[in-house]
């Protein structure tokens, strides 16, 4: 369920056709190096190396190769993977290609090619197979990043009747088995005791909640290695509960476990890279439904941390799921704690679908993640943990309410709610993401998406390259 093969990558380099990528200023030099038939066809076609322009070049046995136009003027390091993101289905089916060195970095190019080749195939075969690419030298990280994103996309795209709390927990277990991690699945009375707020969210569904915990250590991680804690909101379907969503707002609620999928993808990349860390991944697997057992507006819930929460709105359930996971993670005193969640429509109203909102109590870590996101074209945008808005979470009968009494700053208020469950001196980052592509674009087919996962893995990898135990 959790991993597609990567049919887009090929190993037979000998039979691969050359794929050139060129900016307009370098087109003349490339033209001069081509065989006469290809050169004459290029001239006749009017190819000008405009961005995304593609020209198939004839050869004696059919195809000689292809040329892709690139945006200009940007440096090789700044060429986004999306420049190569639609080639898998624009190049002829059954063909295999190799990247010819040029004014671009071949590794993001290969990643963009692979991510654009993704299609969700669990219930319907694709209309055609993608063209294949021989990955460049040193591209193992590209393979692993693509595999992680494919896994996350598959999970988000899976219909809720096929992916409930038990199946999502099983997916975490499958991921752990792949990398030799220890797995703990918590359910029943133990879950009620350890995660009372999460249990209350899942009580309305006939499909009982689960918490899946994955623990792993890199081969170079000793006892003093930093502990990285990841937490994901895994609401497999969100009806809104008694504060029922309108039908139009439920259309994509199978994606409400997108934060869990993104954190799983980040964990997969960390483990595949064998980073010298200890890793603890917690996924809260629940369904928010309506029944006689469901939580009600104005109920007061217990939480793992001991705070009581009045339910101002049953559709603000994701923060309740994360609250218990965050509290338990803090008990282990991680060097870094990151949570990911499809938490608020307010974040999307502020930043749109492509920019996850980042909140943090540690500005150094916020800047590390933002910088990594820029480098790997997986962007994040910081919003403030504005403390004055915390007063809006006041309750007359409990320690706090799960919503504000107004409609302002919803993403900030949700982050401030979560902050109440973070222990002092724990570096914490909260990422409010969309987990979905509304339409197909190069490298980003319509459907589930693993926003922020590549940025997280890259930021942790870069930090570890200069990490000193004294930082803890």
Q: Which of 39, 90, 143, 245 is catalytic?
A: 245
Residue 319 annotated in active site: yes
Q: Are strands 428-432 and 336-341 parallel, antiparallel or unpaired?
A: parallel
Q: Which residues are 441's β-sheet partners? A: 444
Sign of CA dihedral 297, 299, 300, 301: negative
Q: How many other C-beta atoms lie within 10 A of the C-beta of residue 471?
A: 11
Candidates 138, 217, 150; CA nearest to 6 is: 150
Report the alpha-carbon distance of residue 299 to residue 293 in Å, rounded: 12
Which 3 state secondary structure label does DSSP give 297?
coil
Residue 185: which residues within 8 A CB-CB, separation 6 or more? 169, 172, 173, 210, 211, 212, 213
Q: Which of 23, 107, 319, 368 is catalytic?
A: 319
Contact 160/251 with Cβ under 8 angstroms? no
Tokens of 111: 């990643």
CA–CA dist 301, 363 (Å, integer): 32
HSE-up (13 A, CA, CB side) for residue 8: 26
What strand order describes the sheet that includes 54-59? 54-59, 62-69, 17-22, 96-99, 132-134
Q: What is the DSSP string of 193-230?
A: HH-HHHHHHHTTSSS--EEEEEEEE-TT--TTSPEEEE
Prior bond to 73 cis, omega within 30?
A: yes
Told to judge if 107 belongs to the known catalytic residues of this protein, a careful annotator would answer no
Question: Which CA distances in Å does 151 have to 120, 172, 253?
Answer: 10, 11, 18
Cite the active site residues. 245, 319
């Amino acid at each position: 369920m959790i991993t597609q093969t990567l049919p887009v990558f090929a190993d037979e380099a000998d039979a691969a056709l050359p794929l050139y990528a060129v900016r307009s200023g370098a087109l003349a030099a490339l033209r001069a190096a081509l065989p006469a038939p290809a050169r004459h066809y290029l001239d006749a076609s009017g190819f000008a190396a405009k961005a995304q322009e593609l020209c198939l070049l004839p050869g004696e046995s059919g195809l000689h190769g292809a040329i892709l136009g690139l945006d200009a003027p940007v440096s090789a390091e700044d060429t986004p993977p999306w420049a190569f993101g639609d080639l898998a289905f624009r190049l002829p089916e059954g063909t295999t290609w190799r990247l010819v060195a040029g004014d671009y970095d071949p590794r993001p190019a290969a990643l963009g090619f692979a991510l654009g080749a993704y299609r969700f195939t669990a219930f319907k075969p694709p209309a055609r197979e993608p063209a294949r690419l021989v990955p460049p030298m040193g591209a193992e990280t590209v393979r692993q990043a693509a595999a992680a994103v494919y896994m996350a996309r598959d999970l988000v795209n899976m219909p809720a009747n096929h992916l409930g709390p038990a199946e999502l927990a099983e997916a975490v277990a499958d991921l752990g088995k792949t990398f030799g991690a220890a797995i703990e699945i918590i359910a029943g009375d133990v879950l009620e005791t350890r995660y009372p707020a999460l249990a209350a969210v899942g009580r309305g569904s006939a499909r009982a909640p689960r918490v899946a915990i994955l623990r792993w250590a890199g081969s170079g991680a000793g006892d003093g290695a930093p502990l990285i804690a990841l937490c994901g909101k895994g609401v497999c379907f969100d009806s809104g509960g008694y504060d029922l969503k309108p039908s139009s707002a439920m259309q994509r609620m199978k994606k409400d476990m997108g934060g869990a999928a993104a954190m799983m993808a980040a964990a997969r990349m960390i483990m595949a890279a064998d980073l010298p860390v200890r890793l603890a991944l917690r996924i809260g697997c629940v369904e928010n439904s309506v029944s006689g057992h469901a939580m009600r507006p104005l109920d007061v819930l217990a939480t793992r941390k001991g705070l009581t929460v009045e339910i101002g709105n049953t559709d603000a359930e994701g923060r309740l799921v994360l609250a218990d996971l965050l509290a338990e993670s803090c008990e282990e005193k991680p060097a870094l704690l990151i949570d990911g969640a499809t938490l608020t429509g307010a974040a999307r109203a502020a930043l749109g679908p492509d920019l996850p909102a980042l909140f943090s109590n540690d500005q150094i870590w916020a800047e590390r993640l933002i910088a990594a996101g820029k480098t790997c074209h997986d962007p994040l945008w910081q919003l403030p943990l504005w403390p004055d808005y915390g007063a809006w979470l006041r309750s007359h009968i409990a320690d706090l309410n799960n919503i504000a009494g107004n409609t302002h700053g919803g993403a900030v208020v949700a982050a401030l709610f979560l902050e109440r469950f973070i222990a002092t001196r724990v570096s914490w980052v909260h990422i409010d993401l969309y987990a979905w592509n509304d339409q197909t674009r190069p490298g980003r087919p319509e459907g589930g998406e693993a926003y922020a996962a590549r940025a997280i893995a890259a930021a942790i990898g870069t930090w570890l390259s200069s990490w000193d135990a004294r930082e803890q």
